[in-house]
Amino acid sequence: MPVNLSAPVAAQLLPVAGVSLGIAQAGIKRADRKDLLVIKLEEGATVAGVFTTNRFCAAPVILAKEHLAAAKGIRALLVNTGNANAGTGEQGMAAARTTCAALAQALGCAAEQCFRIPPVSSMEPLPVEKIVAGLPQAIANLKADNWFDASQAIMTTDIVAKAVSRQVQIGGKTVTVTGMSKGSGMIHPNMATMLGYIATDAAIAQPLLQQIVSEAANRSFNCITVDGDTSTNDSLMLIATGKSGVAIDAANHAAMQAVVTEVATILAQAIVRDGEGATKFITIQIEGGKDEAECKKIGYAIAHSPLVKTAFFASDPNLGRILAAIGYAGVGDLNVETLKLYLDDVLVAENGGRATSYQEADGARVMQQSDITIRVQLNRGKVNATLWTCDFSYDYVKINASYRS
């Protein structure tokens, strides 16, 4: 089960003026599940995004980048689960264009004003006919307060839906931000790591919107990992409709940046808490580094270590595995004599080895918790970084061994 994570409450998800969402049961992979989502935007909305760095990125991701670059104004996003349309070559690009054209025709806009982002699974032909056939149902279902159903429609191996709303006062007016994400496995930093959609009713020009979403991704989705695998389809989109009447510019964007980053962080952490087979949510704090790069290098060495992750699953304080990961992280001039390692409030290692005050019973006590913090004090600078990961359990292997069945 997800680690201290509950499904969102539909009544707490706030509509964003200028955005409507419609879902359908298109039978893309299996019958009787919400698997198709249309996000319709009123004219004048701006859209920005960050995408997977995987060189085998899916056809819809390529097309989404093309349509954003065309700068004709995005009017709709199409999201499906059950098929990624990745590793499908020219046939995949043709399928992506066909579905965009069908959505555009149904909504009365240009094909370049639509794009589709699918979930994770590769080399399977896209069932274009099922998606096109499902569009009328999704469009008929379009509603401003449909965020909860929409968050369910984008799930794959997720156990619970992930969505959240926040409001902030800017210039004496209320600005709403609502977002949703999906993700559970194939989670790795270097954007993207999942599918995420965040919308606000503030007015934000596209260049600044791109800056805000990139910064938010770097502080949230680029700080999580479940298994170190980067998917072919990952995308995070930020939509600004302007319907609140609040204009965001370089002079007042700090509050907007903060609330978007907060929403993104909540959604990112929810992905780790719902990691495939996860039983522990682990925060990794690297403190006192020379720069952010070395802090993250050490943090991810810990987070990606199968030996560390399986030790946490077993609640086994075999904490020499953490020291080993720090040592092979690739920081060549690291002085292990000045480093300190904590497990929550327990000092584990200092002066190059086990702390004299450390008792394994204290480590075992912390390891029994479902939320655990690993804190590494490098004592070589003033830069800190925080990452989030989870353990590896038997269920992770079972889920991924039978994913296509």
Q: Say whether 84 sits in a helix, a strand or coil.
A: coil
Is 356 part of the annotated catalytic residue set? no
Q: Where in 241-345 does DSSP place strands (E)?
A: 247-248, 281-289, 340-343
Least Cα distance to 160 among 24, 277, 29, 270 occurs for: 270
Rounded CA gap, 318 and 216, in Å?
35
CA gap 60, 299 in Å, rounded: 32
Note every long-range contact of 6-11, with CB atoms under 8 Å and residues 24 or more positions apart, other chains counting. 6/160, 7/160, 7/161, 8/148, 8/151, 8/161, 8/162, 8/163, 8/164, 9/148, 10/147, 10/148, 10/149
User: In degrees rounded to 5, what are phi and psi of residue 45?
Assistant: -70, 150
Which residues neighbour 123 within 8 Å (Cβ) at sequence distance 6 or greater? 86, 87, 88
The residue with tokens 């590494």 is 376
Q: Give the Å distances, CA to CA, from 97 to 75, 81, 277, 379.
A: 15, 17, 36, 53
Torsion angle, CA of 359/361/367/369, rounded to 10 degrees? Answer: -120
Separation between Cα atoms, residue 353 and residue 376, nearest integer Å: 13
Q: List for the chain the helix, strand, coil content (%; round to 5).
A: 35, 25, 40
User: Exposure pattern of 338-372 as b/e (b: 16+ CB <10 Å)?
Assistant: ebbbbbbebbbbbeeebeeebeeebbeebbeeeeb
Please give the Cα distance from 375 to 298 (Å, whole number). Answer: 11
Distance set, CA 45 to CA 49, 58, 128, 239, 240 (Å): 14, 25, 28, 7, 6
Output the six-digit token pair for 286.
Answer: 């690297």
Residue of 46, 193, 200, 230 with catalytic role: 193
Query: What is the set of active-site residues?
Result: 193
